[in-house]
Amino acid sequence: MVAAAVLSCLCLGSGVAVAGDGWGQPKPGSDGAGDSYYPQDGNGGYDVADYNLKVGYDPASHQLTGNQNIAARATQSLSSFNLDLHGLTVDSVRVDRRAAAFSRSGDHELVITPSRSLRRGQNFTVEIAYHGVPAPISDPSLGNNGWQYTKAGGAFVAGEPKSATTWYPVNDTPLDKATFHLAFTVPDVWGVIANGRERGTFKGNGGTTHVWAEETPIAPYMTTVAVDKWTFDRRTRADGTPIVSAFAPGVPDSAKQAEARLPEILDFLESKFGKYPIDAAGGIFLNEEIGFSLETMSRPIYSAGWAGTIPVIVHENAHQWYGDSVAVQHWRDVCLNECFASYAEWLWDEAKEGVDLNTEYADAVKKAPTKFWNGKLYGMGPGNEFSYVYSKGPLMLHALRNYIGQHAFDFVLKTWPTLRRDGNASMQDFQRYTEFVAHRSLKGFFDAWVYGAGRPADQYLFPGGLKP
């Protein structure tokens, strides 16, 4: 009895201390995650742990019905909080199994007011029923993003920086990664592919339900689903990682032959970047011309016309380390994704094709106009993220390789994704780590190549074995 009384007092005392130490008065969570380029994307006040999504979709009518179950934790005391959702009609919301009030604001804010406020640190669930005809988000540079339709009647999801909000409610920021579970029901004649590992197919209720699970924490824009009359190719890596690739009708044999080299590509990238950080692999090969291919986690999605090329497959799978496992802190840091995936193509050419990268670098520098040098690799502004990171980015990394030396550069490439696995990072984080490995300040180099504009001074443009 004495022990029980002491324990009771300790618990009560602890509760009072926590309450006075930060539970605070419940307030609405912020309607944005604070990115300077897209300040209204994402939301504050909570962290999502898992999305569990059940979707029914009719390709003939384009009608989608969804039931979303979100597991999350409050990071502040919440009187209300937001999710992001473009279009679609919300039918009901429950928080911790109790009916919750909800409203829509702006072009994508779903504002939820639970019947009881949530205290800081509390785990909670959100159940959302919704329906409608999904529509893409138009991007002036990349065209349509998110849910898109194929000429043959299927559908797929691809887009960056926005995508997921077009088909399910989400905290749409790379800062809030979560596991992703999907049960997607379509008429029997259609197939479905998504992120992660296959968990089975089940017939009934007028269709077939295809179950996929991505257990590696994933940023929302990297989630995908694609509906078509696929031809599937299933293999396993030597380490047991399942490889599932899907080819739409009409995809040429060249794409299938290129994807057949995926185990070799992953082995090569693993030799450069460390152990493969994702729980599955493969690819989604469309027979549609879209403005890009995309590194959707574990299963990149490829546009027709680009899918049969090894460099594109190398690029998108390099992102599984640089961009997917280690995601950006803010969109101004996108060079940490694209500069490295683009340089992976150079590394492949060097190792597999015998290309002299110093010669390739010298030729590119010689031909580069003033406009090229003024293109920014950091702080490029919203809408300009996906430009010079593909061309100037690999030049910067090759110069860095020569500036700090081969040994230090290789060590950084391989250990950075391991140290930051499943997290987020900024360009400043990468600079500090590279300086730590190189045992020297790299301020001049990063100012010349990354943060500034204009042609770098010769000491940074032609370091080491590089010659003017």
Domain ranges of the chain: 21-134+153-214, 230-325, 327-461
Structure token digits, residue 266? 């992953």
Residue 275 DSSP class:
S
The per-residue pLDDT for 179 is: 98
Residue 332 DSSP class:
G
Structure token digits, residue 102? 């909800």
What tens-digit pLDDT sequence spans the chain (468 residues)?
333 333 333 333 333 333 334 578 999 999 999 999 999 999 999 999 999 999 999 999 999 999 999 999 999 999 999 999 999 999 999 999 999 999 999 999 999 999 999 999 999 999 999 999 999 998 777 678 999 999 999 999 999 999 999 999 999 999 999 999 999 999 999 999 999 999 999 998 789 999 999 999 999 999 999 999 999 999 999 999 999 999 999 999 999 999 999 999 999 999 999 999 999 999 999 999 888 999 999 999 999 986 569 999 999 999 999 999 999 999 999 999 999 999 999 999 999 999 999 999 999 999 999 999 999 999 999 989 999 999 999 999 999 999 999 999 999 999 999 999 999 999 999 999 999 999 999 999 999 999 999 999 999 999 998 988
Rounded Cα distance between 285 and 300, Å, is: 9
Element containing residue 431 per DSSP (H, E): helix 427-438
Work out the number of other CB atoms within 10 angstroms of the CB of residue 461.
18
The per-residue pLDDT for 307 is: 59
Q: Which CATH class is domain 230-325?
A: alpha beta
Residue 331 DSSP class:
G
Rounded Cα distance between 87 and 136, Å, is: 10
Structure token digits, residue 262? 């995926």
Per DSSP, the residues of 397-408 read: HHHHHHHH-HHH
Rounded Cα distance between 186 and 414, Å, is: 42
**Phi, psi (degrees; rounded to nearest 5) at 18:** -65, -40
Angle formed by the axes of helices 357-367 and 392-404, nearest 10°: 130
Collapsed DSSP state (helix, strand, coil) of residue 163: coil
Q: Which CATH class is domain 327-461?
A: mainly alpha
Q: Which CATH class is domain 21-134+153-214?
A: mainly beta
> Is the peptide bond preceding residue 161 cis, with omega within 30 degrees of 0?
yes
Residue 308: which residues within 8 A CB-CB, separation 6 or more?
252, 254, 255, 257, 258
Rounded Cα distance between 41 and 410, Å, is: 35
- Nearest CA among 224, 228, 249 for reference residue 186: 228
Distance of CA 350 to the CA centre of its chain: 28
Give the predicted TM-score (pTM) of the model: 0.93
Amino acid code (one letter) for 416? W
Rounded Cα distance between 302 and 249, Å, is: 14
- Nearest CA among 172, 158, 159 for reference residue 70: 172
Reduced 3-state DSSP string for 360-377 = HHHHHHHHCCHHHHHCCC
Amino acid code (one letter) for 34? G
Residues 310 and 320 sit within 8 Å (Cβ to Cβ): no
Distance of CA 236 to the CA centre of its chain: 23
Distance of CA 297 to the CA centre of its chain: 6
Residues 423 and 327 sit within 8 Å (Cβ to Cβ): yes
Structure token digits, residue 236? 């396993």
Structure token digits, residue 39? 């300040």
What is the Cβ-side half-sphere exposure of residue 300, based on CA atoms within 13 angstroms?
25
Rounded Cα distance between 141 and 415, Å, is: 34
Structure token digits, residue 369? 């106009």
